[in-house]
Amino acid sequence: MPFAFELILSALVLAGAVLTLIGSLGLVKLPDFYMRLHGPTKATTLGGGAILLVSVLYFSQKSGDISLHEILITLFLFITAPVGAHLMAKAALHLKTKKVKRTGDYRGE
Amino acid sequence: MLEISLKIALLLVSIALIMSFFRLYAGPSAPDRILALDTLYVNTIGLLVIAGILLDSALFFEAALLIAVMGFVGTVALSKYLLRGDIME
């Protein structure tokens, strides 16, 4: 494997892992549910995408052919993450989950 | 070099998994626990893919794909249950 390619793969996999960690850190640290929703649904999804991109590049380089079945997971993850986030936010609004004062409400309460 | 960074990434994703387990345990409300489960499955996909590269095996992708599909279905079903009190209407 050429050195430059290995360097790119290492940087991408570390970036993906750090983004995943940041998403989970947001899940633990942020004060209320509506803020916590941001970390996992954006940062973690992007991190997963970066890690899957590494997998595509690595197995394409290894077999000398374009390896596409990881794209399936990436696509599925990127399509379903906003849908899941939307449903969770709706459930939290329905249950009137507690929020801190600076979490605003677009209906102007 | 790739092997070392893969191992570091494995460690970081494992720490992320432990953090989402904490939220699953502590989470004050039910949506928090659903969100923790959602994070847990996305992290698991990352972990499985990194393990697949590290062990040089393509077997892990089927597991990762299955977890992606089932995790989404689980998130939707749990949120629907909280929203409506019923999953299929």
Q: Residue A9 and residue A89: Cα distance in Å, rounded? A: 35
Residue range A3-53, pLDDT digits in tens: 888 899 899 999 999 999 999 999 898 888 888 888 888 899 999 899 999
Mean pLDDT of B26-49: 89
Residues of A in contact with B29 (CB under 8 A): 33, 92, 95, 97-98
Among residues A17, A96, A103, the alpha carbon closest in space to that of A53 is found at A17
Radius of gyration of chain B (CA): 15
Model confidence at A70: pLDDT above 90: no
The whole-angstrom separation of Cα B19 and Cα B40 is 9
Are the Cβ atoms of B20 and A24 closer than 8 angstroms? yes
Residue A105 belongs to some domain of the structure: no
Inter-chain contacts counted by CB atoms under 8 A, chains A and B: 164
Predicted local confidence at residue B18, as pLDDT: 93
- Specify if A106 maps to a domain: no
* Residue of A23, A36, A48 lying closest to B45 (CB–CB): A48
Task: Give the amino acid at A1.
Answer: M
Residue at token pair 């973690």: A44
Search chain B and give the residue with CA nearest A98.
B29
CA–CA separation, B29 and B79 (whole Å):
12
Residue A9's domain comprises: 3-98
In a domain, A109, yes or no: no
Answer whether residue A104 is part of any domain: no
Domain map (residue ranges) of chain B: 1-84
Q: What is the CATH number of domain B1-84?
A: 1.10.287.3510
Please give the residue of chain B at the shortest CA–CA distance from A87: B79
Report yes or no on A107 lying in a domain: no
* Whole-prediction pTM: 0.87
**What ipTM, to 2 d.p.?**
0.86
Distance, in Å, from the CA atom of A36 to the CA atom of A41, rounded to the nearest integer, reads 9
Across B31-48, average pLDDT: 91
Q: Does B33 touch chain A (CB under 8 A)?
A: no
Specify the number of domains making up chain A: 1
Which pair of tokens denotes residue A80?
A: 């379903």
